[in-house]
Structure 1
Amino acid sequence: MMSSHPPIGGLLREWRQRRRMSQLDLACEADISTRHLSFLETGRAQPSREMVVRLAERLDVPLRDRNQLLVAAGYAPVYPERSLDDPALAAARKAVDLVLACHEPFPAVAIDRHWTLVAANAAIGPFLAGADAALLRPPINVLRLSLHPGGLAPRIENSREWRAHLLTRLRRQIEVSSDPALVTLLEELSRYPSPEGSRRPEPAREPDPVAIAVPLRLRTEGGILSFLSTTMVFGTPIDVTLSELAVESFFPADQATAEALRATARRRGQGPSAAESHPSQL
């Protein structure tokens, strides 16, 4: 029977070109000859299981795609893909919940490779206020919620700047993974109209030499809240699901935002942080 999987040689060449590496570059990284690499890419030689793993590591291929390379070469996948509810990932899920809780009273979310919301802490409320109910039905896509006219977009003070920032991040993710679902998501987001508040021309200005990151400036009932975001990933995952999980944490970019969020937390009776107030829940 003919295999329905693409040839391993073509996949290796595709990943090498995607990483903008020459055959010489990859051969040197993998400690093999360029002749042998050429034979692998053209199908004149069949790679061993260890060779597939070595080349995938040097090409920084995502774990999900490493499994596809192994299958294409005739080997069984080696990286498991478990649900976050699987007992084997209990410690990792507990770590994610701990990070989210300890970040309160500031917002934080956990997302998967398609920007689907996996978990969030109690401080995410200001981001969800006023969003269309349809956008808040699971599965919630964080990028769609952020840029959709019925989501956060009309309340983002610097909507053009933030939109460009998110779309750039998504394009870079597509360059790394070539995930067709992300390509479809990018096409959808790119079609969204500019929110009403951003239609007026913004004055051209030179980049602020003091600025350190693109902020998110969100209009709320309590005024404008300004955030800087950071992303946390697991450093040495060997599970596909875990390798694709990220925690996006939002820090106050100014003192007024910090004070407003702390005041909101006090009104909820949350205290300094969920981790300090409710350690038994972690």
Structure 2
Amino acid sequence: MSKLICNDTIIAIGAGRSRKYIAASSQQDSITTTQDNNVDETIADKFPAYVPLSADSKDILNYIEQPLEARTPVGYQRSLIDDYEPNVSFYLSEPIRRQLARMGNTGKTSQPAGTYGRDILSRLLIDLSWASSHLEGNSYSRLDTIELIEHGKAAAGKANIETQMILNHKTAIELLVDNPESIGFNRYTILNLHSILSENLLPNPFDEGRIRQHQVDIGKSVFRPLSGDVLIAKLLDLLLSKADLIADPFEQSFFMMVHIPYLQPLIKCRVQQYY
């Protein structure tokens, strides 16, 4: 079963006893035609029905599924970062933080930084490179990724840019594992990671590893990210300094996952934009 998933022959939905498997080809059956604009819309554009949502989340989902013209344009709200106080404010509840701590306990917290990463480096290079690239639309299968990382063989029929993305992820992971003393919530880490991950993936190579210089838009969204590289750099430094003070690693990670996409301090490099 796992081999079929790795080969992208079938797709797993859900977890545990409720997990379901569908043929990858059945995704084609999800294509429907809207009468208003005759545009094909796949099931991937819809929020998965099997994910449980709170009443508030359903209200938000209903709002963002409205046409763009029915939603009110919004810009960056600085109060979101200004009002956050490390180790006082929390995005994750205490029960969730405790649960994540139990799940993430490797039993090696007393060892030097990077020890566990080096122990599982081979698996980490493959799994994280594949999973992260897959989220960005990369069509490499996990087996293709293994062949590329372990044997240097690019998958036949794949675009060069997809191969580049996998290799960039590999290099970025090696940077994190090999340099635990210098890695942190600082510009050095963020800009170097971006430079590695975006190598040969941006229209303008000068955007690799530097603060965003121009306005960007987000598709299907009325949110308008902040513009102005000086102000963006200032806010990036602010959020990095706050992240560095957060004691709980899971709250710290979630904080970054909220604020980096919200600020959009760097130019995104995604496979989809090239097709």
Q: TM-score scaled by structure 2?
A: 0.22
Larger-gyration structure (1/2): 1
TM-score, normalised by the number of residues in structure 1 = 0.22
